[in-house]
Amino acid sequence: MPAIDLRSEGLRLRAHRGEPQSTADTSTRRRRALLIAHGFPEAPQGAASTWIGYPELADRLAADAGWVCLTIALRGVGESEGDFSMDGWLADLRVGVDHLVAAADVQSVFACGFGLGGTLALSLAAADGRISGVASFAAPADVDEWASDPRRFLDHARSLGVIKDATFPQDTEAWVRALRSTRPLEAIAAVVPRSVLVVHGSEDNKVPLFDARALAGAADGLAELRVITGAEHHLRLDPRAIAMLQGWLDRQS
């Protein structure tokens, strides 16, 4: 499918929805959907390249799993309008859930995310009972480093192009509050006993493996923890991680 546009708080977001190739009768099988969240931009390409590859992943998962798969270039990323904030990205993901429920006519929505996208997928599910389960990949268990020096992090976000407006944020205190209120350990505890998959690479040099173990621990043993030996941070590019995601989707009932 060609790219589609969604609206979130007045902003135009570029999105892509992968559709199952099979036209088999769905009257006896619930139509399921997966919302896929990307991570925070990285140098040197920054926000312009963050979403690259995600539409192809949505199409692949739709074909292999038979699910509707939606991915969104969250505000400030790629061709989407707006500037990054934690609450803004959460609002964008909620719009994705709304779209799947309404436009794609699905009965069950799951979420997955990579890096910060995994953290926000957990936060989204904690607040939205429409999410039936979450898979997180290389997700940080906290954003304390960012929150400890928000001015420095704001400058970092500008340097990556995910904040383009020189006057943003107009309310810096609210922007910082949204950052500091992101609590993945509390979120995952609120998501279980819904299905949760936590995947991490043993050689991740950006988000320590300790974070995955902390997330699984906060779920009180109700989350599935998988560690990929030798894998680094960018699990979207690791076929073993995608195979784990496909297996997890296949196990949902």
DSSP SS3 for 196: strand
Query: Is the separation of the CB atoms in 38 and 74 below 8 Å?
Result: yes
Task: Return the pLDDT at 25.
Answer: 37
Single-letter amino acid, residue 162: V
Examine the pLDDT at 23 and tell me if it is beyond 90.
no
Question: Average pLDDT, stretch 157-168?
Answer: 97
Calculate what percentage of the chain has a pLDDT beyond 70.
95
Whole-number Cα distances in Å, 92 to 71, 89, 169 = 11, 5, 17
| Strand 131-137 to 108-114 pairing | parallel
* pLDDT tops 70 at residue 253: no
The type of residue at 218 is: A
| Banded model confidence at residue 1, pLDDT cuts 50, 70, 90 | low
Q: What is the DSSP string of 209-246?
A: HHHHHHHHHHTTT-SEEEEETT--S-GGG-HHHHHHHH
Measured CA to CA, the distance from residue 12 to residue 17 in angstroms comes to: 16
Q: Which two tokens stand for residue 32?
A: 């399921």
| Cβ atoms of residues 161 and 46 within 8 Å | yes
pLDDT band at 93 (very low <50, low <70, confident <90, very high): very high
pLDDT at 57: 98
Distance of CA 251 to the CA centre of its chain: 20
pLDDT bracket for residue 22 (50, 70, 90): low
Rounded to the nearest 5°, which phi and psi values hold at 5? -110, 135
- Look at residues 149, 137, 146, 156 and name the one whose alpha carbon lies nearest to residue 41: 156
pLDDT at residue number 105: 76
* CA pair distance 122, 116, nearest whole angstrom: 10
- Cα–Cα distance measured from residue 118 to residue 36, given in angstroms and rounded to the nearest whole number: 9
Sketch the domain layout of the chain as residue ranges.
4-251
Q: How far apart are CA 222 and CA 240, in angstroms?
A: 22
Q: Label residue 21 by pLDDT band (50, 70, 90).
A: confident
Radius of gyration of the chain (CA): 17
For residues 21-42, average pLDDT: 77
pLDDT of residue 27: 40
**Cβ–Cβ under 8 Å, residues 104 and 68:** yes
Record the tokens describing residue 194, joined without a space.
């819904």
Of the candidate ranges 71-75, 106-110, 192-196, 202-206, the one whose mean pLDDT is the lowest: 106-110
Average of pLDDT values for 155-168?
97
Over 50: is that where the pLDDT of 26 sits?
no
Domain 4-251: which topology?
Answer: Rossmann fold (3.40.50)
What is the largest distance, in Å, between two alpha-carbon atoms of the chain?
54
Give the DSSP H/E element, type plus range, for residue 33. strand 32-37
pLDDT at 29 over 60: no
Q: Cβ(31)–Cβ(106) under 8 Å? A: yes
